[in-house]
Structure 1
């Protein structure tokens, strides 16, 4: 007898289970392949979108940083402009002050409107035995020069001799010695500056002009449209 005769045919229940397993395996396999294919299709697109989004965020952050840097630079420029404007004003003021100092020291020539004051001895009075009572002294010249300086005179000269900050004036009899040089009367004092201010300061009641008149000094004051004074070096050469 053949061995196959003794083998039992699979039961109906077993066949159903087998078929179900085969179908389930097929469905699982198909679903896995489908999911894998979908990942291959959609994954690059999603990844690229995320990359774009990250790049956009980074770019926005960089733009914000650049905007802040630009604002800082603009503020720095404004600060420089303010500082430059302030320094420019200060420089101009300092330059003007330096110019005034050079004029006072006599280092540069002086040109401008001003006044001329002439001091002369009084006429001889035989009834007065003291000649010092009617001649011009260094004290008279000092009064005039000091008042002119106080009133803002830019430059002063006596008989063409340009005065400097440390000039000295001495009276030696009928002559005046200025920085070692002697000058006789009349003494012509010229000053560069505002004529109205200079004259009003000299002619104030009880001021220098009145004092000179009381001392018998002959005084004349003139406005000058332009006065030219050489520098100290030119005067001494």
Structure 2
């Protein structure tokens, strides 16, 4: 089929309507580009003269515009402008960003540290500090009481010529109301090495218990009772004098002498006849007790001492029974 000879091959565009084609320039030479602005939509005559050619075939107007005028005049007027920034503004922005990063990093570190910290540890530390302060106050008050007692005894001696009777002195020695110095023995015993290693290994595990035999408050009570039975006049454990109101008990994982916690190794000092006490508390006289200690890995050591000084025990409040009238 041959094409219709009456149809034009193309639609020629007059020179005055020929579109202007330019390349986009992305460089500093944009100022040299000739400005080309879009026509106002109100200028109908100019728009009709530039964008449309006179033709009676309206169906070919779209194709004619796409072929002869592919670029929008608004696009040809666009410019790529690079803003020139000063050195001061560049470094100022960098410093501000750096400070913000440092602040965010510091706040993040504090937040992570707060999450990893154990609040119960701070509570325990606070309670421990308060307990130490109270113990220090008790020790200071005990020293003050002993000093006042010494002054009272001195004044009594000046008045009556004799401070105390022998019975009163003996009672004060037994109750631990006064400091005492004399010969005696020192017994030392400690928890087995396996127990200390087990404590370190199980400290990081919750719910584990150790079945290793360790020195208990009952062992200390038994040893103290045996020393008193064999003539000990004054006894202290790890520097804590035993008085009439001093207790030996276990609280939590520690052994308390009164209100003071002690730890292994345990040192028991007893004033009395050193030879008698050493023989009575030796392994020959108490073979069964030493054998039970040996099976658990506990080895008590008894040493004689020519001079042992024990401080007075903490004086408690004494209450006397009264008849109810």
**Matched residues in 1 for 2:295 and 2:165: separation?**
42
- 3-state SS in 1 of match to 2:305: strand
- 3-state SS in 2 of match to 1:99: helix
Aligned in 2, Cα 1:210/1:231: closer, same or farther, shift over 3 Å? same
**Matched residues in 1 for 2:296 and 2:261: separation?**
23
Aligned in 2, Cα 1:130/1:217: closer, same or farther, shift over 3 Å? farther
Instruction: Tell me, yes or no, if the aligned pair for 2:192 and 2:296 is still in contact at 8 Å.
Output: no
**Which residue in 2 is equivalent to 1:100?**
170
- 3-state SS in 2 of match to 1:185: coil
1:188 equivalent to 2:188? Answer: no
- Give the alignment partner of residue 293 of structure 2, picking from 208, 212, 226: 212
1:113 equivalent to 2:183? Answer: yes
Structure 1 gaps of 5+ residues are 1-93
- Give the alignment partner of residue 311 of structure 2, picking from 222, 225, 230: 230
- Give the alignment partner of residue 165 of structure 1, picking from 226, 244, 258: 244
**Matched residues in 2 for 1:212 and 1:132: separation?**
15
**Matched residues in 2 for 1:164 and 1:182: separation?**
16
**Matched residues in 2 for 1:192 and 1:176: separation?**
22
**Matched residues in 2 for 1:158 and 1:170: separation?**
12
Instruction: Tell me, yes or no, if the aligned pair for 1:174 and 1:184 is still in contact at 8 Å.
Output: no
**Which residue in 2 is equivalent to 1:83?**
none
**Matched residues in 2 for 1:123 and 1:153: separation?**
30
Instruction: Tell me, yes or no, if the aligned pair for 1:113 and 1:224 is still in contact at 8 Å.
Output: yes
Instruction: Tell me, yes or no, if the aligned pair for 1:158 and 1:189 is still in contact at 8 Å.
Output: yes
Instruction: Tell me, yes or no, if the aligned pair for 1:104 and 1:155 is still in contact at 8 Å.
Output: yes
Aligned in 2, Cα 1:119/1:130: closer, same or farther, shift over 3 Å? farther
Matches within 5 A, 1:80-159: 95-124=165-194, 131-159=210-238
Poorly superposed stretches of 4+, deviation over 4 Å: none
**Which residue in 1 is equivalent to 2:128?**
none
- 3-state SS in 2 of match to 1:217: coil
**Matched residues in 1 for 2:183 and 2:279: separation?**
15
**Matched residues in 1 for 2:248 and 2:303: separation?**
23
Query: What is the alpha-carbon root mean square deviation over aligned residues?
Result: 2.6
- 3-state SS in 1 of match to 2:215: coil
- 3-state SS in 2 of match to 1:131: coil
**Which residue in 2 is equivalent to 1:43?**
none
Instruction: Tell me, yes or no, if the aligned pair for 1:174 and 1:185 is still in contact at 8 Å.
Output: no
Structure 2 gaps of 5+ residues are 1-163, 199-207, 316-325
Matches within 5 A, 1:44-59: none
TM-score under structure 2 length normalisation: 0.39
Looking at both structures, which has the greater relative contact order when contacts are Cα pairs under 8 Å and sequence separation is at least 6? 1
TM-score under structure 1 length normalisation: 0.53
**Which residue in 2 is equivalent to 1:27?**
none
Q: In terms of Rg, which structure is larger?
A: 1
- Give the alignment partner of residue 179 of structure 1, picking from 255, 258, 264: 258
Instruction: Tell me, yes or no, if the aligned pair for 1:202 and 1:208 is still in contact at 8 Å.
Output: no
**Matched residues in 2 for 1:173 and 1:122: separation?**
19
